[in-house]
Structure 1
Amino acid sequence: MSARHPPESHRLCHLRVRSGLLVLDFRATLAQARNFLAALDTWSPTMHATIDNDVSPDLPALPCSSLWD
């Protein structure tokens, strides 16, 4: 595997978290985003998150992202 093509789980993605009117957008690796979604399902039935490929460098990184590796 070359540095030009990281593993799928290390690809950056857009993570959107919603709770009522609150909408938060972050960039994270696909693995981090999936782990966050799995945990979110157990924490709160009112919070929802989605993952997509609409990632840009100006999105903030997922806070404490290393916790989700």
Structure 2
Amino acid sequence: MEAEQIRHIHIRVGVLALDYVAPIDQADDVARVLSSCHAALEVSVTIDDDVREGLPPLPCSTLWQ
């Protein structure tokens, strides 16, 4: 069985910046949904391999399964 790929997801809404870890499928889904938000919200989402110790898991991650 293949290990689940975990990624760092960085979410910026205006001046608010949030960093989490999430399985790649969930991170991709969140990025897709948030990037479809209205442009006035100034939402940007990046996903990368910068998984660091201490980053919290994506809140309510079970909603993205």
Question: Which residue is 1:29 aligned to?
Answer: 23
Q: What percentage of aligned pairs have identical amino acids?
A: 38
SS of the counterpart of 1:43?
coil
Deviation at 1:41, TM superposition (A): 1.9
- Alignment of 1:55 with 2:51, yes or no, is yes
Alignment gaps of 5+ in structure 2: none
Contact kept, 8 Å, 2:10 with 2:17, in 1: the verdict is: yes
Matches of 2:17 and 2:46, distance apart in 1: 11
Matches of 2:17 and 2:8, distance apart in 1: 13
Alignment length (residue pairs): 63
CA RMSD of aligned residues (A): 1.3
Alignment gaps of 5+ in structure 1: none
Query: TM-score, normalised to structure 2's length?
Result: 0.84
**AA in 1 matched with 2:61:** S
Contact kept, 8 Å, 2:35 with 2:45, in 1: the verdict is: no
Contact kept, 8 Å, 2:8 with 2:48, in 1: the verdict is: yes
Matches of 2:5 and 2:38, distance apart in 1: 27
